[in-house]
A = this chain, B = another copy of it.
Amino acid sequence: MAGDINRRICLAARPVGEPVPGDFALVETPIPVPGPGEILLQTLWLSLDPYMRGRMNAGKSYAPPVALGKVMVGGTVSRVLASNQEGFRPGDFVEGRTGWQEYALATGRELRRVDPALAPLSTALGVLGMPGMTAYTGLLTIGRPEPGETVVVAAASGAVGSLVGQIARLKGARAIGIAGGPAKCDYVVSELGFDACLDHRSPTLPADLAAACPEGIDVYFENVGGAVWEAVLPLLNPFARIPVCGLIAHSNATRLPEGPNLVPALMRAVLSNRLTLRGFIVGDFADQQEEFLTDVGAWLRTGQIRHREDIVDGLESAPAAFIGLLQGRNFGKALVRVAAEG
């Protein structure tokens, strides 16, 4: 492969508001040569996830930003092409965080083996990967739904939301989804088995949500923010739990919304209803990975959990697909097939 080209997508400019194609640059470099202890990986699948928008900003968040000119961060499933590291052999499949590029070097410590006999490789980036574990840990550790309780989640046809609702149902709770448009809402109810799914584009969303939650809301899994959170807040029951793992509705905001300032109303609700709001990222629950893979793997094999992928082909498709993800245009877990598996 010497002399071959590694195509990479780098951060060319920090977006102002919604990212545009010019914020990304496709850069060609030689395929790297693995040194002592290093592994050469070929990317097969690249995951596109909302958190990446935060990494394009300069500001501090729970993780440092991508530096200008550097490869965009991202989870990947790759094939080992060459290895100077014990335990990794050409042909092995691994999940890692090697970013938006066709080839990458790794040392092995940051990789997790993926067995293609257990589940399709791409699931290691979705239902059996970071999004799935986000849903599983946030819902069960913070949300803790009880039988008969009502769980609400937005982006309900997406990688995280779809699993939140299905796990809530498996735990005996009611699952109410919110999604964009009738096709996604139909899918969430008829394929995923949610009790109801509401269109967040409806001007009557607050009333629709109230009607769908006649006994109030006990768990709101927060992954969007914005208008959905404002519709949820008045419906929360005493002692409701709100795991907060994402705020995609605010991702592209360049300034704070106009007033009034609703913080006092939010804090009043926290007090009056004894709410628990807790932010988390999946890495906070790394010790639950075995349990997650065991449980969700079993539910997947028995058909108790379904999932859906939205695949685009070729690394060069990643920027447009990512911009579409932030606009809610994907339908299912957003993935880039960077190279064929076979």
A244 and B271 form a contact (CB under 8 A): yes
A94 to B127, CA, bound (A): 59
Complex contacts, A265 vs chain B, CB 8 Å: 256
Complex contacts, A259 vs chain B, CB 8 Å: 256-261
Within 8 A of B (CB), among A304-324: none
A267 to B280, CA, bound (A): 12
Complex contacts, A272 vs chain B, CB 8 Å: 60-62, 279
Tally chain A residues at the interface, Cβ within 8 Å: 43
Say yes or no for A253: interface residue by CB 8 A criterion.
yes
Name the one of B61, B229, B268 contacting A247, with C-beta atoms under 8 angstroms: B268
Closest B residue, CB atoms, query A239:
B284
Name the one of B260, B264, B268, B270 contacting A278, with C-beta atoms under 8 angstroms: B270
Which of A225, A246, A264 has the most chain B CB within a 10 Å cutoff?
A264
Say yes or no for A12: interface residue by CB 8 A criterion.
no
A276 and B274 form a contact (CB under 8 A): no
Within 8 A of B (CB), among A234-263: 238, 244-247, 250, 253, 255-263
Q: How many copies does the complex hold?
A: 2
Q: Given the known A-B contacts A250-B264, A264-B250, are A274 and B281 also in contact in the complex, defined by CB atoms under 8 Å? A: yes
Say yes or no for A266: interface residue by CB 8 A criterion.
yes
B238 and A62 form a contact (CB under 8 A): yes
Q: Given the known A-B contacts A62-B274, A275-B277, A284-B274, are A253 and B247 also in contact in the complex, defined by CB atoms under 8 Å? A: no
Complex contacts, A226 vs chain B, CB 8 Å: 264
A271 and B247 form a contact (CB under 8 A): yes
A91 to B228, CA, bound (A): 58
Name the one of B264, B268, B279 contacting A271, with C-beta atoms under 8 angstroms: B279
A278 to B273, CA, bound (A): 10
Q: Given the known A-B contacts A238-B62, A275-B279, A277-B276, are A244 and B270 also in contact in the complex, defined by CB atoms under 8 Å? A: yes
Say yes or no for A222: interface residue by CB 8 A criterion.
yes
A253 to B260, CA, bound (A): 13
Complex contacts, A267 vs chain B, CB 8 Å: 222, 225, 229, 244, 247, 250
Would you mind naming 26 contact pairs between A and B with Cβ atoms under 8 Å apart? Answer: A60-B272, A62-B274, A225-B267, A230-B263, A246-B271, A247-B268, A250-B268, A256-B260, A256-B261, A256-B264, A257-B259, A258-B260, A259-B259, A261-B263, A262-B263, A263-B263, A269-B279, A270-B277, A270-B278, A271-B279, A271-B281, A273-B279, A275-B277, A275-B279, A276-B279, A277-B277
A residues apposed to B, CB below 8 Å? 60-62, 222, 225-226, 229-230, 238, 244-247, 250, 253, 255-281, 284
Q: A259-B259, A261-B261 are in contact. List 12 more A-B contacts (CB 8 A).
A: A60-B272, A62-B273, A226-B264, A230-B263, A244-B270, A247-B267, A257-B264, A259-B261, A263-B266, A271-B279, A271-B281, A274-B281
